[in-house]
Amino acid sequence: MNNWAVQTKALRKHYGEKRAVDGLDLEVPAGSVFALLGLNGAGKSTVLKMLVGLVHPSGGEGYCLGMEIRSRGAEIRRKVGYMGDEPRIYGYMSVRQVVRFCGGLYRNWDDGLVEAYMEKFQIPGESKVHQLSQGQKNQLALILALAPRPELLLLDEPTTGFDPLKRRLFFQAVLQEMVAAGKTVLLASHNLEEMERVADRVGLMHKGRLVHTCSLDELREREKEIRVVFQKEPPADLFCHPGIVQVKQEGRAFRLSVSTGLEEIWQACASVPHFVLEIISPELEDIFLRYTGEGR
């Protein structure tokens, strides 16, 4: 368990007939920034809640910082920073009252960090929480998750309601306060473009299952597209190679999504008279849709 900040095996959560999480095998390396990517309803939020003991699994195993998630939830929450997709903070308290209340629960609470980020995010300390905008509430929740200096930070759709400047501050916070200290960050998000800026590993989640996991570099290196404009109609069997996972036609141009056999497919296209033949790297969003089947 020393190499993994998070590890699950066949983890499940069912709500009646609905399988929110269905046999999840997830390994998050210690010291990494791992993005769990998926559309709304993929099961990402449920996974994070199970990891911190807020939701009880229906089956399978899960470990967080080496601790079993069913029996050691309270101990996990003392060592893990968690920000949910809809943070629940006492609305009748002022911001500073909430900070003092939460600070009394943790041994490693960092008041200096709180003050620095409250100033950066421009959160008024004397305002009641219910007076804050949703974006400000999320920013406050992020600060409260960072302040205990956790070994592991779990963030669920962390930039919801952030303007572009606040998003930049968020990424600075994650990189400066966690990554630089060698800590682990697990983010759940449907915003692929944002996670591409900060994550070094990704897991693609769809309908409660993890369909693919790898480093971002591996994903970009493996997934390529061939764009070709033929001089005449190509042979009917040209696109039957097993390494071609998707074919799109855009006017006279064809875009072939390729996972294996790139050179062989390239040569096959080159043997047909053409005007344009090039290799391009697809957007991360296109790769995700391909793996989940939503793009077919």
pLDDT tens, residue by residue, 40-83: 888 999 999 999 999 999 999 999 999 999 999 999 998 999 99
SS3 277: strand
Mean pLDDT of 274-291: 79
Residue type, 189: S
**Residue 178 dihedral angles phi and psi, to the nearest 5°:** -115, -55
Two tokens at 276? 């344009």
The crossing angle, in degrees rounded to 10, of helices 95-103 and 111-121 is 150
Q: pLDDT class for 294, splitting at 50, 70, 90?
A: low
Give every strand in the sheet of 224-230, ordered side by side. 244-250, 253-258, 224-230, 274-280
Question: In this predicted structure, what is the pLDDT of residue 1?
Answer: 47
Q: Write the DSSP symbol of residue 8.
A: E
DSSP string, 216-261: HHHHHHH-EEEEEEESSPPPTTGGG-TTEEEEEEETTEEEEEESS-
Q: How many CB atoms lie within 10 A of CB 226?
A: 21
Gyration radius (Cα) of the chain, Å: 23
CATH architecture of 4-219: 3-Layer(aba) Sandwich (3.40)
Question: In this predicted structure, what is the pLDDT of residue 2?
Answer: 63
Strands 33-37 and 184-189: parallel
Buried b (16+ CB within 10 A) or exposed e, 103-127: eeebeebeeebbeebbebbebeeee
Q: What is the pTM of this model?
A: 0.79
pLDDT in tens, 204-225: 898 999 988 888 777 767 778 8
Fold (CATH) for 224-280:
Alpha-Beta Plaits (3.30.70)
**Domain edges within the chain:** 4-219, 224-280
Q: Write the DSSP symbol of residue 176.
A: I
